[in-house]
Amino acid sequence: MIEEEICKVAFIGAGYMTSEHLKAFQGLPSVELSGISSRTIDRSKTLAQSYDIKNVCESIGQLYEATQANLVVISVPELSLFNVCKEVFKYPWVCLIEKPVGYNLQDAQNIQDMAITEGRQVFVALNRRHYSSTKALIDDMSHQEGARLIHVYDQEDQAAALKAGQPELVVRNWMYANSIHLIDYFNFLGRGVVVCVDPIIPWTPDNPGIVMSKITYSSGDVGIYEAAWNRPGPWAVTVSSEQKRWELRPLEQATFQNYGSRTPELVPINRWDSEFKPGLRVQAQEAIKALLGQAHKLPSLAEAMQSMQLVHGIYYPGVEND
């Protein structure tokens, strides 16, 4: 919680996601884009010019000293994140880290342990939680009685990831880097705690194909995870109760179908998801609420770790670590 009228926000990284975060924070009431630092100083300067950022810094320490920022937004490659966090956590700003937090479960656990040791407040940019489609689904389902069936459809392509320049170590752990986008839905749609994760079609790393698992919750909710590796398939989420069925396909677009009807009804997309990368404007607003000590819906690092642990439970059941 801060007492200043101006929320000073700093940024680490100068790639695509940093530019999208800058756009989302720009123009929010009482927000100042205070500084930026990255390994590529020229790209930092380009973004600083585009978004009227006050300070371009060559190190994380310099970034904090120059800005005295209340919030730092971290968008760096997975294999760099641990060392970046090691420097970031030396300073008392609130942290918003772009997902995934770590290239695998152990890396994520190391980052969480470091945050706890340093006493840092850390949130994770799980922006699909802030889609207008997701928010409409959550709000409506909160009024529906009975157990839920949650079905998440995932599609991943390791060859395409390698071709796009992703490091081999990240691609080998691609379920953490990319499937986290889908698997996170279970952790805010499923009620209660996960009782068990039962593999139906297990992961075979040497011959990736179809992966299926059943997730059982203490509430009686049931999740089905289905992933198509190196073959076509959608990214989609369906949630059904006795009264209603919701579908997100694509994830930004929601439809629902009432019991007794065969016609799905379309839910309008909020303008924030059209004018900005979906979820990011609302996420930025939630981050400022968190800074001001107000009620917010920004997921903590501990919440994000639950999703990383579920990824692990689906892909490596019975294995203590990656």
Q: What is the pLDDT of residues 141-195, one digit of tens each?
A: 999 999 999 999 999 999 999 999 999 999 999 999 999 999 999 999 999 999 9
pTM of the model: 0.95
Rounded Cα distance, 226 and 248, in Å: 15
Does a structural domain hold residue 142? Answer: yes
User: Do residues 185 and 311 both lie within one domain?
Assistant: yes
- Integer-rounded Cα Rg, in Å, for the chain is 20
The domain of 86 spans: 7-127
User: Do residues 156 and 119 both lie within one domain?
Assistant: no
User: Do residues 104 and 31 both lie within one domain?
Assistant: yes
Provide the number of structural domains found in the chain.
2
The Cα-based distances of 240 to 127, 132, 178, 266 in angstroms read 23, 18, 25, 16
User: Do residues 36 and 142 both lie within one domain?
Assistant: no
pLDDT at residue 3 above 60? no
At 318 the pLDDT is 78
Q: Are 191 and 217 in contact (CB under 8 A)?
A: yes
Tens of pLDDT along 156-165? 999 999 999 9
